Structure 1
C-alpha cells in the first residue's frame, strides 16, 4: 500500500488505474487526476451514460467488467473504490503484483488536496448542498477553490474543480473507505474548518445503530486539531453529546438565541426566500436565495459562519447566495407540462423526505403536492424506518409509493414493505397509493394531475427515467414551458 501521507508524491507515479471508476466520487477523482496530467484508466461492472460518456470525453480508457487483465499494463498506482470486495479479480491481481494501492479519499487528499487547507462538510443531511454553497462563495470571493462534491453543482456544471487557491472544499462522507479500511472516508482529512449539519441513523448496511453512527462522528470530532474550527447545528442532541470534550473551537448555528449564528426572520416570495442572520446577538446581514426551505436556510447559515471565519466580506456572501443556482437532483425542476411541474429530489431518509415536502409546499400554494417516493437505498429498503416513514408525508396531498427495485439484495426478514407504508398512510387519512412498476405511476399521474400541481419525485437512483417519461406523457407533444 502506498504511503500517501508523505510530503511528496513519489516521482514514478504516472499511470493510475481506478477500480469501480463509475461511481460519482471515483469518476470525479479520475477526471481530476487526468486534468493534473496523469495517465488514467478505469474499470467497472456497469459502464453506461452519463458517467461513461463523461469519462470517455476526458480521454479516460474504460474497461468493461473486472478482470486481472485490466492490470496487465502495470499501472504505477491502483485506486480502489469502496464498492470493491477483497475477492475482486483486480484486487487479487493487485496483491499478486505487489502494486501500490490506496483508497479514494487517500488519493483525493494527497493528489488534489496536496498543500491545501481542507474545508469539510459532514452530517447525515444536507452535505451536498452545503458543500456546493461553500465552494461557490469562495469562488465568488476570488479564492479559486478546489472541490469534490457528491452532486453536480449547477454553477460549475461539475462535482469537482481544481483551483489554484489554498482551500480544498470536500463533502465528508461517513461511509466506509475500502475493503482494507473500514473507517469512514472523512477521517482522511485534517480540516481547517468542519461543518457538522446533523447526526441521525442511516446507512443500515454498515452501521448497527445510532450509537455506532455517533461513535464514527465522535472519532472525527476528536481528530480535529485544536487550532481548527467545528461549526455545528445547535438543535441536534446527538451532536451536543459529542462536542462536550472537544479541543477545537466550536461555533454553533441555528435557531437558539444563545448560538454564535442565529437564523432570524425569513419570508418566501417565490422564487426568492429572504432571510436575516444574527452573529452573537447582533445583526450580521440580510440575504436572498432561491434555495427552498428552512433546512436549506440553515445549511446556508452554516456556510455564512465558515465564510466569515475565512474573512469573506458580507457583500460577497450576499452576492454568492443570490447567484447560487443549486445542485442537480436537489429540488431540481425537470420541466413543466400543462401547468404541472415535475421536480427531482435525492431525498430518501425519512427526515429528508419530510423536510423536502415541507420546503416545497409554500412555493406551490395554488396546487397539490403529489409526492412520489422510491425506496432504493440500503437503509430505505430495510424495515428500520418502516414505522417512521408514515410521518414524513404529512404535507403531501397525494402520496405514490413504488415497490423497492432491489429488494433481492436484502434478507427477507429485514425488508421494507411499501404496501405496509401505504396502508399506514391511509389509516392516517392520507390519499396514498402503492405501485409495482414505474409505468403505473406515470399513468396514474397523467390521469390525476391538474394544472398547478407539483409532482415531487424522490429517489437516490435513476427511477427508470421517470422524470422524462412523465413529462412526455403529460405533454402529449407540447413544448416545455
Structure 2
C-alpha cells in the first residue's frame, strides 16, 4: 500500500491532522493557519507552554506529553525535525500506515495555491520575513505568513490572510526548504552554518542552488549583492527565466541604501534604484543589518508592484520580533536585551548594535553556545566575535538534539579570549548574580544564544531590582 504524499487545500480540509511537537515555532504557525482555515487539528508537545494554550483557544485538541492515545483518529501526521522514530505517536502512525509528513511539506501544501515568497539565507530570515509581512499588510495586501518567531506588533508567528500572497521563512538547516517551490524568493546571505547537516561550504552552495532551481518558472529572486556568498552563488546559476533583483550598498545593486544613519534606538537610510531616489527608509529597529533586511523586504514587495510609500510606512512601523535584539526591560539604567544570535556573524552584528546603544557604557554578555558541532567548528570565530563585548560570561553548550562531542565545551571559546574579559560559568543562577553585581547604570546586558538562555531576562531584571 502506497501512502499519499500530496494534498490540495480542499483535501486537507477533510482530514484529522495531528501534529507531533505542535508547540515549536514552525509547527505552531502551520497549525495556527490550518485552524484559521477551519481544518481539524490535534497535537502534542513534550512540555506545556503559552503556545499550547493559544492553540487550544483556537480550537486545537492539544495534549502535554507524547503517548499513543494522542494519535486518536488521525488521517495525517505532521512531525517536526526534533521528533525521532521512537516517539510513541509516530511509531503507532507508522504501524497503522497513516501518512506522515515533515513540517516543511505541510507548509508547502498551504503555500501551493498562493503567490508565495520564501525568505532564505544563513542570517536574517526571521526578521526579513516579518518585515515583509508587516510592509505588505500596511500596503493592504493582507498576506498569509509563517515566521520562525513572534512578530511584536502582530503578537503571532503566523496568519491566514485574505489576500493571494503567502510569505514563509525558508530554513536551509536540513534542506527541507526545497519543498516550497515558491513564486519568488529572497536570499539574504550564504555562509556555512548547521555543520551537523552540511559537511562544508560547498554543500551549502549546492542546497542553495537547488533552492533557486525550485523557484517556479518566470519567478523572481531578490538577493543581497554585497554578500560574498551570494555573489559566488549567482555565478553558479544558469536559469534565464528568473527576474533577479539585487539589493545592498554597492553600485551594482538594483536597490541601494545610502547615507546610512545608525542611532541608538533607530536606523535611517536613503533608498535609490537605478539612479532614482525612491525614498527614506526609517526603522524603529537598530543596526545596518536591519536596514539591509528591510531593503530586501522592500525589493521583494516592489517586485509584487506594491505602493512604495505604504511599504516605507509599514517598515517604519515594524518594531521587531521576539528574541531578535528584544528589549526585556530596564532597571536602574541597565538595559537587558535578549537575542537569538548563535553564529559568529550574527553575534558581531548584535554586538555592534549593542555598542551603539550603550555609547560610552559597557556591553555585558551571557552567551550560550548552541550545539556541540557548531561550537567545535566555529570556536575561534566565536572568540573573536565575543571579544567585541566588554565582558562575556560563557554558559555550557546547549546540546539541542546532539550528543556531547568529547573535548568540546564552552572552554574552547574562553581559551582564545582575553582572560580579563571572559568567565566560564555553567550555573545560570551564578551568572545572574555575578552579572547584576557587575552592571552599572548605562550598561547593556545581552543574553545571547538559541537555547534556553532566553529564560534569563526576567531573573536578571528581578536581580537588578533587588540590589
Instruction: Calculate the TM-score normalised by the size of structure 1.
Output: 0.91
Aligned-pair CA distance for 1:464: 7.0
Corresponding position of 1:126: 124
For residues 56 and 266 of structure 1, do their structure 2 counterparts lie closer, same or farther at Cα, with a shift above 3 Å needed? Answer: same
Aligned-pair CA distance for 1:465: 2.2
Secondary structure in 2 matching 1:9: helix
For residues 458 and 223 of structure 1, do their structure 2 counterparts lie closer, same or farther at Cα, with a shift above 3 Å needed? Answer: same
Q: Bigger CA drift: 127-136 or 360-369? A: 360-369
Corresponding position of 1:30: 31
Residues 8-38 of structure 1, C-alpha deviations (whole Å, 9 max, x = no match) = 6337833111122221111222222222222
Q: How does 1:223-372 map to 2 (within 5 A)?
A: 223-244=214-235, 245-247=237-239, 248-372=242-366
Q: How does 1:385-404 map to 2 (within 5 A)?
A: 385-404=378-397
- Maintained 8 Å contact 2:192/2:204: yes
Corresponding position of 1:61: 61
Corresponding position of 2:5: 3
Secondary structure in 2 matching 1:28: helix
5+ residue gaps, structure 2, are: none
Aligned-pair CA distance for 1:309: 1.1
Aligned-pair CA distance for 1:379: 4.2
Secondary structure in 1 matching 2:11: coil
Q: How does 1:176-255 map to 2 (within 5 A)?
A: 176=174, 184-244=175-235, 245-247=237-239, 248-255=242-249
Q: Bigger CA drift: 119-128 or 193-202? A: 193-202
Aligned-pair CA distance for 1:167: 0.2
Indicate which of 367, 370, 373 corresponds to 1:376: 370
- Maintained 8 Å contact 1:254/1:301: yes
The separation in 1 between residues aligned to 2:246 and 2:80, in whole angstroms, is 34
Instruction: Calculate the TM-score normalised by the size of structure 2.
Output: 0.93
For residues 257 and 224 of structure 1, do their structure 2 counterparts lie closer, same or farther at Cα, with a shift above 3 Å needed? Answer: same
Matched, 1:443 2:433: yes
Aligned residues: 462
Corresponding position of 2:409: 417
- Maintained 8 Å contact 1:348/1:377: no
The separation in 2 between residues aligned to 1:343 and 1:12, in whole angstroms, is 42
Aligned-pair CA distance for 1:127: 0.2
- Maintained 8 Å contact 1:135/1:169: yes
Matched, 1:406 2:399: yes
The separation in 1 between residues aligned to 2:89 and 2:10, in whole angstroms, is 24
Corresponding position of 1:456: 446
Aligned-pair CA distance for 1:467: 0.8
For residues 202 and 269 of structure 1, do their structure 2 counterparts lie closer, same or farther at Cα, with a shift above 3 Å needed? Answer: closer
Q: Bigger CA drift: 312-321 or 142-151? A: 312-321
Corresponding position of 1:180: none
